[in-house]
Chain A
């Protein structure tokens, strides 16, 4: 696609529910990143995929968070048993490869846990 696409743009869920956030990277980009941005803060790294595999998941806050990229393109970030503290904007980015080229970001998914 022309840019990184994230769906939904907004998601409101009840505490304790399960949510999935989707990211469709730029076509041909092998590297994909998830970040989380809280109000007034810069984005915080969550996980990095190179192809289908998670090359670095050191930013995932706990085991309620999981992400997959089964075919090396679209990625899904999954959050189980959501908590109010999970409310944030979840940003996805892709780059041509993992060797330090330019990263392009999607518009983000604003998650609100009530």
Chain B
């Protein structure tokens, strides 16, 4: 059974800092991995999708890496801004016969102070 752990659970940084959010998962036989952002009381917004054959994906100030064999992914946020404050969720996608079912970690709650 896939288990996902995100460290740290909460993070508070001053504006402008570069930061790294960590995600580890127990079953490395994944199809892909998605990083999401969730604002309070809202749904999930997809940030980056990494296919299992890829090592990293970049979108603007965000870079996500995937090391499938070791069961780890990191989300790097450059030059953080107060608008980045949200909960960030990591979700490895299951094996082929599980469809696109995602297993989520508990998230990292990020606060960026002006």
Contact = CB atoms under 8 A, between A and B. Distances in A.
Interface of A: 4, 6, 31, 33, 35, 40-45, 48, 50, 55-56, 91, 93, 95, 97-108, 110
B99 A55 contact: yes
B99 A31 contact: yes
Given A48-B99, A55-B99, A103 B104 contact: no
Most chain B beta carbons < 10 A, residue from A35, A42, A98, A102? A42
Interface stretch (B44-52, B60-68, B69-77): B44-52
Contacts of A106: 43
A47 to B, nearest CB: 9
A22 to B, nearest CB: 15
Interface of B: 4, 31-32, 34, 36, 41-46, 49, 51-52, 89, 91, 93, 96, 98-107
Contacts of B42: 107-108
Nearest to A42: B104
A100 B42 CA distance: 24
26 contacts: A31-B99, A33-B100, A35-B104, A40-B106, A42-B4, A42-B106, A42-B107, A43-B89, A43-B104, A45-B101, A48-B98, A48-B99, A48-B101, A55-B99, A93-B102, A98-B100, A100-B51, A100-B93, A100-B96, A102-B46, A102-B49, A104-B46, A106-B43, A107-B42, A107-B43, A110-B41
Contacts of B31: 99-100
A56 B99 contact: yes
